[in-house]
Chain A
């Protein structure tokens, strides 16, 4: 399977190791992985702020860069959803681009969803061990149905125990630009999430979207809590332990 990795702008900027973990997982699953070099951002900041023109510019760029591949995989539910479910709607008035957006859409997957439902691979190179709790990021959960996939994969790691927290499906308060427009409200929501994480008693908090993870990590650290915050790809690829 020829898979193109959509790294996502946040992983590129903040946590490259998540991108490398994703490559490792995809290769272990027998995929041939390409990383188109000119890729940048899927356009969500503009899209969610009402700047449709900006969102369309970036959407066209992503479509052109990725449409030649059999599959596109992103270590993020919200970016995968943007390409899969939102791009076609951006081009309702433009039959050519609409057609190209639709043709790409169904081949775009969030990483754990792809590993479980498309690659159907059991090969996880991880030796990670510890007790973790999992945060379900909103867009992945409610728009792509990402819930059982990461758990199914984590369950295959012998050293990993999952302790579910209360309100695992509740928003962490990130919301993209919401977090910088309404910082106080956003941080108060994050605090609730962090309280649930701490009460769970897990040794690490794991999730599938870096935006939420940075929000959670920022709040935990401000609370004086050093609990490791890991992307599910890091845990599954066995690179989680190295970062701290």
Chain B
């Protein structure tokens, strides 16, 4: 199924529609309020965005060097740094680690790269039980491994009622509807997993090169359980997540968290460096970093490299009129919204996501909220150009555009053509102000009228006025 068909299905789903409406207000209002508060305290959010962009560009310009520096420093703290060319290789590496340590169960905190790589399926195939512990991801996992619909709020498309039904069914307990009680029930289920897992797998929001640390930004505390209780901790993340210093981390945290959830700071920010040291009461005995490329170096060498600045805050989708209307599942892969419409064709192949670069009004709401100033509409437009270059657009569309340009560069012909078009449209309107069904634009008139033209073209009226 393509984007368009999925989008129409999401529009018809009353539940999804009402959940999306609620979510929209929350995300947008909270970010706005957080930035207003930041300004009131004398901060300059635009300057911060500019600095965030510069910082990310600086890292990407020497990505290999920063990664090496990270590897040296993480290794010096006893961690092992492994490199994966793609998702499949990342899965192999992690399954190998699990086997080496005799792992039967792995608790997980949120990681989009794990979704990219299909890590849960790989672990299951190897006889290792993955347990998602982020509440949203947990809900999806117990609902037959449903895919997330948002990068930071994976179950934003679900209502409390649906989750109450799911919990009652899967937990086999009386149905609860109080959010606090529901969360407590999930916690109880998860607690035994936290204590019995032999391995913890986390994502990584940032990798700090100067210290060899991983920074985790979470709100639920599950990340701490995953990364400190089991004897093995594996971090899986993308190679673009590296940043030079702790100073840089503080800049990006200020940007990321306000943009994502509208909090000045998340409930937890964990900075994990090396394993359990002598005298430490907890912490893993083994720490691994699996740093995944999966298309990122190709992206770095392309005209789309701005996209690698992305810090996965979700603001672009929260503010996107299209995402707000259809939610994340319509986009078809791991990443939804504007950033997904750019990343999916680049990572999965342009011919496999033909609709996505066009699934945007180019309103640039995403571009103005992006904390690292990624020009998302420009990237979408460049993808459209690539499709045209590679002749991936339907012939009818290519011809229509050529014909339009051909006629529009011939003023006499254009004047004649528009003169007739206006009369034809008015004839269709039958003297009324609107056309209810327009054969030339069925997609338009399926959901709205097509206003009738005024009567004559401006050109005709102006010529007449000048004569008189």
- Which residues on A are within 8 Å of B, measured CB to CB? 7, 9, 11-17, 19-20, 35, 37-41, 43, 45-55, 57-58, 61, 138-139, 142-143, 170-171, 173-192, 214-215, 217-219, 221-222, 243
Contact = CB atoms under 8 A, between A and B. Distances in A.
Contact of B458 (A12, A51, A183): A12
A50 B404 contact: no
A184 B445 CA distance: 9
A53 B405 CA distance: 9
Contact of B447 (A15, A49, A57, A187): A187
Interface stretch (B212-220, B290-298, B361-369): B361-369
Interface stretch (B106-114, B226-234, B448-456): B448-456
B401 A45 contact: yes
Nearest to B388: A50
A221 B433 contact: yes
A191 B425 CA distance: 24
Interface string B383-409: 111111100010001100110110011
Interface in B420-468: 421-422, 433-434, 436, 441-451, 453-459, 461-463
A60 B421 CA distance: 25
| Centre residue among A15, A57, A177 by max chain B CB count within 10 A | A177
Contacts of B325: 173, 185, 188-189, 192
A131 to B, nearest CB: 22
A12 B457 contact: yes
Nearest to B436: A222
A46 B444 contact: no
B11 A40 contact: no
A189 B388 contact: no
A218 B450 contact: yes
Interface residues of B, number: 66
Contacts of B445: 183, 218
B174 interface: no
B380 to A, nearest CB: 9
Contact of B418 (A12, A15, A215): A12
Contacts of B463: 37
Given A182-B443, A188-B11, A7 B458 contact: yes
Contacts of A176: 361-362
Contacts of B444: 179-180, 183, 186, 218
A189 B321 contact: yes
A222 B401 contact: no
Contacts of A50: 357, 381, 383-389, 393
Q: Which 4 pairs from chain A and chain B are nearest by CB? A: A187-B447, A183-B443, A175-B361, A50-B384
Contacts of B414: 40
Given A13-B421, A50-B387, A185-B326, A61 B361 contact: no
| Centre residue among B8, B386, B448 by max chain A CB count within 10 A | B448
A52 B388 contact: yes
Contacts of A188: 11, 325-326, 447
A221 B402 contact: no
